[in-house]
Amino acid sequence: MGNRDLNEYKRQLRSTDYQVAFSFRRKFQKSKECLKFRIAWGIPQFGFKNSADYYEWDKEYVKQINTYNKSEKYKEHQQKIKNKRQEYFDGKITEFDFKWYAQGVNFANPNFKFSYDIDQITLNSGMPIYWRDYIEECLLFENPRVTFPSKPLPEPTLKWNEMYQFYELIIDNIFPDTTTKDFDNKKFTKKLKELKLKIPGGGKPQSRKKKNFEFGIELLALDKQKPELSDFEKTETIKNESLIDNLDIIKERKIKNNTRQIRQRTKKYIGNIE
């Protein structure tokens, strides 16, 4: 990357983002873990100086993978994994035992081992997992591309619940530096709204608070307990006060109509109280 391109890229980043990435790279590339990885995989002590050097190494790396995949050892390993899988299906070993064994066997595969080593170094680095690609660049190259690891947004996804046979809504991509603002992103909220409709109860509209809910419950109870009372008398009983003082015919009629409306709405919402 030329100086002009580098300066332009820096302007596109927040200054703190660039500083964090640059500072991490300088310290990380001097660490024992970085040097140990490079020695183990035949990478120059200070990393590849350019893409041409990397591609030469990559050819040999791919050759190792292809050689292993065509070897008798590969066939033997696959058969062992197949046997262990059958033991798991037969209930002789646990799922953990099977996965642990399969991982151990897969270490003989250069492609698996290379990815595993980078995964472990990423975890040990203390940085969020989305830094993995940037850390790989730092391991391979002396001067990696100056890119700041882009933090993914929270990701709503549907996961099938085997036990209860329904979809659960899971939020992935939660990192130590995830903030509440990330959940206000329009892309996130749009997808969340769409997926909520696919989980149990998701198609139902959200209920609003019923203003006269408690009054309606007591009113239906009085309908059963004291049917002889008028609606006006039931209203006085529920409110525990006399409404007759300074009451004209219009106000009385309004109270009665309001009571009937509350009764109808409460019945519609919860049904009759038995």
User: How far is the C-alpha of 25 from the C-alpha of 177, rounded, in Å?
Assistant: 19
Is the pLDDT assigned to residue 4 strictly greater than 50? no
Domain residues for the domain of 7 are: 3-140
- Do residues 252 and 224 both lie within one domain? yes
Query: Cα 55 to the chain's mean position, in Å?
Result: 36
Range list of H helices, the chain: 3-12, 15-28, 32-40, 51-69, 72-89, 95-106, 110-125, 132-140, 186-196, 213-225, 231-239, 249-270
- Do residues 119 and 78 both lie within one domain? yes
Mean pLDDT of 146-174: 87
Q: Provide, rounded to the nearest whole percent, the portion of the chain with pLDDT above 70.
A: 88
What tens digit of pLDDT does each residue of 34-72 get? 999 999 999 999 999 999 999 999 999 999 999 999 999
Would you place residue 227 in the very low, low, confident or very high pLDDT band (cuts 50, 70, 90)?
Answer: confident
Average the pLDDT over each of 4-8, 26-30, 43-47, 84-88 and give the range with the smallest value: 4-8
Between these two residues, 17 and 21, which has the higher pLDDT value?
21
- Do residues 116 and 14 both lie within one domain? yes
Between these two residues, 47 and 260, which has the higher pLDDT value?
47
Mean pLDDT of 67-88: 93
CB 262 within 8 A of CB 219: yes
Phi, psi at residue 22, to the nearest 5°? Answer: -65, -45
Structural domains counted in the chain: 3
